[in-house]
Structure 1
Amino acid sequence: MPHSLTRFGLSLRLFIVGLVTASVSLPMAWISLGKLLLFVGCLVYFVVTLKQKRAQDALNTLWSVRLIFVILAAFAVSLLWTQAPLDMAVTAFVKHSKLLEVAMLVMLIRTPREARLALLVFGLSQAFFILSSWVMATGYRVPWATSILIPQYKAVVYSTYLDQTLMFAATAAVCWHMRRHWPQAAWAAVTLATLAVLALANNLFLQVGKTGYLASLVVLSLAVMWHIPRQWRVVSLMVFPVVMFGLMYASSAKFQGKVAQVITESQNYSVQNDNISSSGFRLNAWRRSLQAMAEQPLTGHGVGSWTLTVKRIEGANANQVFGDGLSSNPHQEFLLWGVELGVAGSLLLLLWVAALVRDAMRFDPPLQRALISVVAVMVVGCLFNSSLYDALIGDFFCITLGLLLALGVRTDAPLAVSPSPHSNGLPA
């Protein structure tokens, strides 16, 4: 292949990776554009590598990436028996297919230098995102903000406070644990640590999202665990979250209000079957999901069938509870997969989480900790929302995971040794 053509291909590949990386800090239109270019660029690159008979060794060494193809195959096969209309089923399948972004980034990023450049773009774009939120918190409207500025949500730049708080929690983890990845640049460590503090402080003091509070608490707990002697890590992982919860409850009226709200809404649902509130809706949706899974535990109801199935179970008040149309979701990713694919669907998601942790354990400690922390934030999001299925936040998780996996698998440094029998089973 001519040298000029090779250089053009490299430039185009890096441009696509940079655009899709930056897009997760921008409005949804940019994410859609980035995904389109990523899919097209990856298809072209895949054809070229097949023609040149180059094996995708990176894809073959990551269990989490290989499992993505198994997951998508399961969703595709469920199209044969789905109870949803074909257009809704295909739309749902496309939403699940955003998992391919992880594999495509690992495929397109070919060297450690490219992976670090992509992470640099990620850091700069997230810094822009975080600083924009803080500027808005002072009462100024930044011209690029697209959120509806409800007074109590005035520091939300794009989408909703839920998406933003989960993104900031994951970004804080990446910045904090990767701050010493460039030992030759002391300023980088200070900058990344500052961004991590700003991101978590934004979640804890400016936002109102319950899931965001929990995700931030998880990130802080993991960071503390990895900075104390190994023999105390299990104890710290149990004690520190309780201590932090107590401190936040004692010092924040906003946090107290959210805790009281969850308790009140849950009691109202239990006693009065009130499913209008945030917690009441979730509890009702989760109950209907479990009933749907009990009907078809082996095969599920098929991709895209959640709304249709739970509305049938709900009965006459279905539209009042779940809204018109067939595009609702249970606000719980594990149950969504369980309704669509049966019990095996929920297990597949659990297995994918385990595979991500397994892959992370092979990398050097800073990257290992960053990746496991992002996985933990994703799991928190999936427990209370359909975070992988939803647009924007799902793309953020897939792209962030793809970048970290690409850096790990492309790094020339030797892989970390597996934990010793005396390491309590926790990462180094």
Structure 2
Amino acid sequence: MAGSQGAPSVMPDTRLPVPRVWNVRLGLVCLSAVSVSLPMAWVSLAKVLVLAVSLAYLCVDYAKGRRDTALGALWTTWILALIGVLFATSLLWTGADLPSALNTLAKHIKVVEIVLLAVLIRTAAEARIGIAAYALGQAFLLLSSWLLFMGVPIPWKADSAVGYEVFSTYLDQSLMFATSASVFWYLRRDKLWPSWAGVVLAVLALVNTLLVLEGRSGYLVALTAIALAIMWSMPRHLRLAALVVTPFVLLLGLTLGSAKVQERVTKVFQESQGFAQTHQVSAKDSSAFRLNAWMQSVQAMQEKPLVGHGVGNWTPVVKRIQGSEADAIFGEGNHSNPHQEYLLWGVELGVGGVLLLIGLFIGMARDAMRFPDTVKQAMLAVVAATAVACLFNSALYDDLMGDFFCVSLGLLMALGVRTTVVTKVTV
């Protein structure tokens, strides 16, 4: 856009009348933002409240003729609505029992929290408060992990947590830290926290992921975060090369420089090679489990490539294909998943499900391109982290991990939308 004066806002005006109970609404946003750094009970409580209260606000706004046109202009809003409709519609042909199907449906459609948080957040100031609460929770979780690493006991550590995990597992925690590092890094320029604090927390989060925790999926997300940060710091004509080369150079350096990283990377190759030779799956062999689950998922997709097997039907179908060893591999009941979000959607909704998930990431990235630079870069980094995590985990479907990504994306989406409406584009 060009011109000597500021151009119109790149997003429609969203300054809706603020309800009198603004403190309750904003308090709920802060609860949701902090909850993803706390035990699962807090996450579940916040999620239910966000769903109920945001839908109530939507109904009140509709009844009073108020329209939040900025949210309607986002691709993300309509893609999320389509996701909810398609998963719910697949109940008509799913072969899963109704309780399992409904449980799976609820876990899938929690992605709508991304836009529901933006429903509750009405101004840029509120969005900044929500992001600050999120950062405070992540900083608390991160520093708690470092205290454990230094041998300092903490009374709030969960009984089920081991090693340097605080409330959940190394997988959840490593993905959280690798993702929140980008938020700390980019938004330091937005004066949401001191610049030095953003740098320190980002470095501590990445080092914790790469050298303290054991999550190998966390490695990939951390490398993605670093690659994007380096890319944005380069001249425009070098950005693509930096994005492609940086992860390989970093991984090579970590493998050669850290015995711990080398051991974990070697283990992946050994487990994968062992499975390729024997097709045997061990309970402690995460790489073999994934490869086996992915193979069965592809076979399941081949059976019904157009409409899929229906919501909640991944486990029954894959167990049927697996045969007599199914329960030993996937466990009792119908609550397993392939540790790969794209294939999970592909089995349940067909090829269209895979395209729909990819479309969600593209839609969020497209919307982010309209935000101010700092928010845009943070949003794109979290979208990329989510997309990468989904390659090796059911990152949106899983409890806690999925809630973390949805809340992170929702808060950044709200910050971008509510900031953009007062941003002028100049020459």
TM range (shorter): over 0.9
**Corresponding residue of 2:32:** 20
**Corresponding residue of 1:422:** none
Cα distance in 1 between the residues matched to 2:18 and 2:219: 47
Aligned with 2:234 (options 228, 233, 241): 228
Q: 1:140 to 1:243 in 2, by over 3 A?
A: same
Give deviations 1:295-324, integer Å, cap 9, x for gaps: 000010000000000000001111111111
Cα distance in 2 between the residues matched to 1:401 and 1:6: 23
**Cα shift at 1:370:** 0.4
Cα distance in 2 between the residues matched to 1:353 and 1:6: 31
Aligned with 2:197 (options 191, 204, 225): 191
**Cα shift at 1:6:** 6.8
Letter of the aligned partner of 1:83 in structure 2? G
Residues 1:347 and 2:355 are matched in the alignment: yes
Question: Is 2:113–2:406's contact at 8 Å kept on the other side of the alignment?
Answer: yes
Residues 1:217 and 2:226 are matched in the alignment: no
Cα distance in 1 between the residues matched to 2:244 and 2:19: 52
Unpaired segments ≥5 residues, structure 1: 418-428
**Corresponding residue of 1:9:** 21
Letter of the aligned partner of 1:269 in structure 2? F
Cα distance in 2 between the residues matched to 1:239 and 1:12: 47
**Corresponding residue of 1:318:** 326
**Cα shift at 1:8:** 4.2
**Corresponding residue of 1:34:** 46
**Cα shift at 1:167:** 0.6
Question: Is 2:18–2:122's contact at 8 Å kept on the other side of the alignment?
Answer: no
**Cα shift at 1:218:** 0.6
Tell me, what secondary structure is at the counterpart of 2:300?
helix
**Corresponding residue of 2:342:** 334
Give deviations 1:42-72, integer Å, cap 9, x for gaps: 1221221112110121220210122101011
Q: 1:245 to 1:114 in 2, by over 3 A?
A: same
Residues 1:67 and 2:79 are matched in the alignment: yes
**Cα shift at 1:12:** 1.0
**Corresponding residue of 2:8:** none
Cα distance in 2 between the residues matched to 1:122 and 1:149: 22
**Cα shift at 1:408:** 0.7
Aligned with 1:160 (options 169, 176, 179): 169
Question: Is 1:58–1:107's contact at 8 Å kept on the other side of the alignment?
Answer: no
Letter of the aligned partner of 2:52 in structure 1? V
**Cα shift at 1:252:** 0.6
**Corresponding residue of 2:10:** none
**Cα shift at 1:7:** 6.3
Cα distance in 1 between the residues matched to 2:294 and 2:332: 19
Question: Which structure has the higher relative contact order (CA within 8 Å, separation 6+)?
Answer: 2
Give deviations 1:309-346, integer Å, cap 9, x for gaps: 00000011111111111100000000000000000000
Give deviations 1:361-386, integer Å, cap 9, x for gaps: 11111111101110111111100010
Question: Is 1:58–1:106's contact at 8 Å kept on the other side of the alignment?
Answer: no
TM-score of the two chains, using structure 2 as the length reference = 0.93
Cα distance in 2 between the residues matched to 1:102 and 1:301: 26
Cα distance in 1 between the residues matched to 2:56 and 2:265: 51
Residues 1:80 and 2:92 are matched in the alignment: yes
How many residue pairs get aligned? The number is 407
**Corresponding residue of 1:255:** 261
**Corresponding residue of 1:408:** 416
Letter of the aligned partner of 1:350 in structure 2? I
Give deviations 1:120-160, integer Å, cap 9, x for gaps: 1111111111111111111223111115354xxx2111111
**Corresponding residue of 1:286:** 294
Question: Is 2:305–2:350's contact at 8 Å kept on the other side of the alignment?
Answer: yes
Letter of the aligned partner of 2:25 in structure 1? R
Aligned with 1:201 (options 204, 207, 222): 207
Give deviations 1:266-313, integer Å, cap 9, x for gaps: 111111112211111100000000000000000100000000000000
Query: Deviation above 6 Å: which 4+ runs of structure 1?
Result: none
